[in-house]
Structure 1
Amino acid sequence: MKAVVKTRPEPGFVEIKEVPIPKIKPDEVLVKIHATGVCGTDILLADWKYVGRSPVNPPIILGHEGAGEIVEVGANVKHVKIGDRVGMEALLGCGHCHYCRQGNINLCPDWDHLGIDFDGTYAEYIAFPAIGVHVLPDNISYEEAAFLEPISIVVHALESNPITAGDTVAVVGPGPLGLFSIQAAKAAGAGKIIVVGTSVDEKRLQIAKGLGADIVLNNGDSHAAETVKELTNGLGADVVIEAGGTGTSIEQAIAMAKGAGEVYLMGFGKESTIKPLTQVVRQNLTIKGVVGSLPRHYETANRWLENGVVKIDKMVTHTLGFNDALKAFELMKNKEAGKVLFKAEL
């Protein structure tokens, strides 16, 4: 089968290779991949800049956003069957630690991450633990279901910090997580949605407008917080969704929040510090990190897609085959795409 493989632990060395179809274990299913999305994590892995919980050990098949059809089930699998159309969770907990036993597998210190700890979705077939698959409603396409993972993270964020009808919501970072957040905020009844990007985000900001953003700003690298305050009569946003993942975007997100407002951080700004600490205290802000998602969040993401709460048609700007993997990575890296989708049959 064809697969996109990170072959060596250094920048580059992503190859399209022919590899054997995997053999499944008794608790696994074999899924024929139909569609899979490109994430920023895949680009970091390709450039060998990813810093995760545990070392990545090439060779490994990349990809963790995918959907397909079950073509084989292991001997111990009872809850799904051959022919089921499914999406897949990205994080799988150890099952026995303190956090897993509480149901918080996203906090498991020994989780396995699809496409990082074991072979991912950039392949024609994948062997995957059956406990982590979600059967798709009939009206969800494989292309839509390929994005269950990023949508589930937005579900997690809004579960933690629900938006009240009429709220002013600022979304910092118009990447895929930000674009899904716009749609979710709109569906939740946000009164005004302000999206903040930088000078290189023009294409994505235009997509944001098409998805329901009321105001888009490209000054996230300078005076975005001041502009948001001006647009809200000096108050700031009730809810700020930080999806940029840089030190600047995190600092700006905190600075643009209203007193007693809520800020949730979805981006991994590893180099950042909370500089406006007095802002957090004096403004009585609630700041919450959002990492990964849980099985229930995937189920809700399924319903969001089923009922049209979020849509992918305006977000997916490029559909390519695995042979064009390097082109796909460049499109995302240069922010020339809203979202890139791989279709295995292309």
Structure 2
Amino acid sequence: MKAVVKANRASGLELVKMPEPKLGPKDVLIKVQVASICGTDVHIDDWTYWAQQRFTPPRIIGHEFAGYVQEVGKEVTFVKAGERVSAETHISCGYCYQCKNGYREVCRKSKLLGIDYDGTFAEYLSLPEHVLWKDDPRIPDEWATIQEPFGNAVDTVMSEDISSKTVLILGAGPIGLFAVGIARACGASLIIVSDPNDYRLDIGKKMGADIVANPKNTDILNCVLEATEGNGVDVVLEFSGNKLALDQGLKSLTPGGRISILGIYETPVDIDLNREVIFKKIRIYGITGRKIFSTWYKTSRFLSSGLVDPGPVITHTFLLEDYEKGMQLMRDGMCGKVVLQVMP
């Protein structure tokens, strides 16, 4: 089979021929129809500091996908050949303290698809049945493949009730852009999006943002205060992983508000806890992965019902062989979500 592999501890990826994966008794063989590129995949390609610490080659990369069941192990009962599936990318053990207490997304023994486990940038994929999700047939392939990152946005937006709230979204990458549509569908009264990329701010408008602001030429705090009669926003959703953006978000948050943080930071962050957290009595939520599997139900319903149309965010589709074109668009910031067509 064709597969995109990180073969060595250096920048770059390779499109190579690999043997099809073998099945254990509880595994499922999936023919990958579409996959989509995540920023994590670009980090692995570029061999950033994070990738060097976290990733061990050789490994097939990729973790977002939709595909069809080809074969099942002898103990598999959940799916059958011909069904279209996606998967939770945190492959949890099911037995540790976190798993037993309903926090499988932070399982202590979790393996990540495309990092610890051969991934989705390949014609075939083998996964244990307990991580599979049956896709709603009303959801097209290009939407089905983005359910995993869409779920990140769902949990970030819906950490608390957001109806009638004023919201500041920091970072208009694909997940931040999905969050715009989700916040709008959940009844947010005002949505402000901040990002230094005008291309992505335009997508933010299409997804339902009321105000978009580029911090290169706009004072974000003043923008927020003007839009909220000096109160600040009720909710900040932080997707950027940028220290300055986080600081702007905390200053823009009204006392008694909440901030949910999905962005990943390259280095430790300093926060004035007295001024920005304690005396403002704000609530901070750290978001990782999705709630397994309750978030998948919400995601599927948002997409299958038409409550959120992710179409404006999905800007490019390439063949698997042309994966590097998508990677470069992501580096340049001239795309939303990039989808790879794996099988014709």
TM-score range, shorter chain: over 0.9
Equivalent in the alignment of 1:315:
313
Match of residue 97 from structure 2: 98
In 2, Cα distance between the equivalents of 1:257 and 1:78? Answer: 48
Shift of 1:251: 1.5
- Residue type at the aligned position of 2:267: E
The letter of the residue matching 1:59 is: P
Q: TM-score, normalised by structure 2?
A: 0.95
Whole-angstrom distance in 2 between the partners of 1:304 and 1:176: 16
Unaligned runs of 5+ in 2: none
Give the 5 Å matches for 1:13-28: 14-28=13-27
Measure how far apart 1:156 and its partner are. 2.0
> Which deviations, in whole Å up to 9, do the C-alpha atoms of 1:15-35 show, x marking residues without a partner?
111111111111111111111
SS of 1:261's equivalent in the other structure is strand
**Amino acid of the residue matched to residue 47 of structure 1?**
D
**SS of 2:257's equivalent?**
strand
Q: Determine if the alignment matches structure 1 residue 276 to structure 2 residue 272.
A: yes
Aligned-residue identity in percent: 36
Q: Is the 8 A contact 1:251 1:274 kept in 2?
A: no
Amino acid at match of 2:6: K
Q: Does the 8 Å CA contact 2:157/2:237 hold for their aligned counterparts? A: no
**Partner residue, 2:289:** 292
**Dislocated runs of 4+, deviation >6 Å:** none
Q: Distance in 1 between matches of 2:108 and 2:20?
A: 30
Give 1:1-346 correspondences, 5 Å limit.
Answer: 1-12=1-12, 14-49=13-48, 51=50, 55-164=54-163, 166-198=164-196, 201-219=197-215, 223-277=219-273, 278-293=275-290, 294-345=292-343
**CA-CA distance at 1:247 after TM superposition:** 1.3
Q: TM-score, normalised by structure 1?
A: 0.95
Deviation at 1:311, TM superposition (A): 2.1
**How many residue pairs are counted as aligned between the two chains?**
342
1:189-233 superposed Cα distances (whole Å, 9 cap, x missing partner):
1111100001xx111000000110010000168731232122211
Deviation of the 1:163 alpha carbon: 0.4
Which whole-Å CA distance do the structure 2 matches of 1:178 and 1:123 have between them?
Answer: 27
Amino acid at match of 1:17: V
**1:325, CA displacement in angstroms?**
1.3
| Cα RMSD, aligned residues only | 1.7
Change (3 A) 1:206 1:11: same
Superposition deviation, residue 51 in structure 1: 2.6
Q: 1:133 to 1:126 in 2, by over 3 A?
A: same
- Kept in 1, the 8 Å contact 2:170–2:249? The answer is yes
Given that residues 144 and 311 in structure 1 are in contact (C-alpha distance below 8 angstroms), is that contact kept between their aligned partners in structure 2? no
CA distance in 1, matches of 2:105, 2:68: 26
Q: Structure 1 stretches of 5 or more lacking a match?
A: none
Q: Say whether the 8 Å CA contact 1:254–1:276 is kept in structure 2.
A: no
3-state SS, counterpart of residue 131 of structure 1:
helix
Q: Which AA in structure 1 matches 2:168?
A: A
1:31-69 CA distances to partner (integer Å, 9 max, x unpaired)? Answer: 111111110011111111263797422111111111110
